[in-house]
Structure 1
Amino acid sequence: MHPLRVSVRAVCYRDDKILLAEHRDDRGLWYIIPGGGIQHNETLDLAFKRELLEETGGEADMGDILFVREVIADELDTTYLPKHLHQIELFVEATNFRQITEASEPDKDQIGTVWMPLDKLPDVLFFPKTMVEALQAKSFDKIYQGHIM
């Protein structure tokens, strides 16, 4: 049996930019919203703060859940996700972002963070790509976005 993984991601805007974790692998540069798995007996707000600090070196206030994404790797045509991964991702509003240090535990292939102009988001390899328009508009019409890449 493969356990369901729950993760939290910090959606942080500054003017017309969004904070992204920048990665590099054989596809070149690609980007995701910073965040990661919630550990056993860890609250959502503690995971939010820990993941943001580990991946960006920053702190922010946790706001509302903006949307939920589900990932079932075995149903996707990709070799880049772990086999049998089933993950629920909670995308949470991050406000009052403050840079306090360097990223302490970046993810595999993560090379840094970037404040990406929202108008450039469609032009880069970004996941989840189906959420680009909603992220650009800062408008989320439904909480559960389904199983998307």
Structure 2
Amino acid sequence: MRVANKAIIVRDEHLLVTVNSGDFPTFYLCPGGGQDHGEDAYAGLRRECREEIGCEVLVGELAFVRDYIAADHEFADQDAWAHQREAYFFCDLAPGAEPRMTDAGDLWQTGIAWLPVDGLHDQPLWPRALARWLATAEADRPRYLGNVN
């Protein structure tokens, strides 16, 4: 099982995402990724954000945790072996930081974008559960989403 950490960065009612393209339709992800051996969650998330959005982030409170067991979802034919546990944290950009594309992002990352939070349901954002979670009243948001995509 792979452990990963993701940043939920919202500014002016827009969510910061990485743009991912290749031999497949474009899709969006929150910045972040795999946690290396010997790294705590915060250090791994800060490193991944430097790589993917080119700037420092201030890691805040845990938002939620989800499992992604690929064999149970729509991409099972491509990666049925994958099981990832992701922790999503509310983050802010460091003072003066402005996201930018770097050469250190993931292989399929082709850019970054700010997506309107109220339009996330209509976007190819993964996990899909994130759009529903953000649209839920804060007091009703679960901390563990289960095996969702």
Same fold (TM over 0.5): yes
Q: Which amino acid aligns with 2:142?
A: K
Partner of 1:55: 52
State how far apart, in whole Å, the 1-side matches of 2:48 and 2:98 are.
14
Matches within 5 A, 1:107-146: 107-136=106-135, 139=138, 141-146=141-146
State how far apart, in whole Å, the 1-side matches of 2:137 and 2:111 are.
24
Query: Comparing 128-137 with 42-51, which one deviates more in the overlay?
Result: 128-137
Report the alpha carbon displacement of residue 79 of structure 1 after superposing the two structures with TM.
4.7
**Distance of aligned partners of 1:93 and 1:138 in 2 relative to their CA distance in 1, 3 Å threshold:** farther
Task: Note if contact 1:53-1:104 (Cα within 8 Å) is conserved in structure 2.
Answer: no
Q: Which has the higher helix share?
A: 2
> What SS does structure 2 have at the residue aligned with 1:99?
coil
Does 2:71 match 1:68?
A: no
Report the alpha carbon displacement of residue 136 of structure 1 after superposing the two structures with TM.
4.0
Report the alpha carbon displacement of residue 135 of structure 1 after superposing the two structures with TM.
1.9
For normalisation by structure 1, the TM-score amounts to: 0.87
Q: Which has the higher strand share?
A: 1
> What SS does structure 2 have at the residue aligned with 1:113?
strand
Query: Comparing 88-97 with 77-86, which one deviates more in the overlay?
Result: 77-86
Matches within 5 A, 1:1-149: 4-79=1-76, 82-97=79-94, 98-99=97-98, 102-136=101-135, 139=138, 141-149=141-149
Report the alpha carbon displacement of residue 45 of structure 1 after superposing the two structures with TM.
1.3
State how far apart, in whole Å, the 2-side matches of 1:138 and 1:104 are.
37
State how far apart, in whole Å, the 1-side matches of 2:77 and 2:16 are.
22
Report the alpha carbon displacement of residue 138 of structure 1 after superposing the two structures with TM.
7.2
Between the two proteins, the alignment pairs up a number of residues equal to: 146
Percent identity, aligned pairs only, is: 28
State how far apart, in whole Å, the 2-side matches of 1:87 and 1:108 are.
18
Runs of 5+ consecutive residues of structure 2 not aligned to the other structure: none
Report the alpha carbon displacement of residue 73 of structure 1 after superposing the two structures with TM.
1.2
For normalisation by structure 2, the TM-score amounts to: 0.87
Report the alpha carbon displacement of residue 133 of structure 1 after superposing the two structures with TM.
2.5
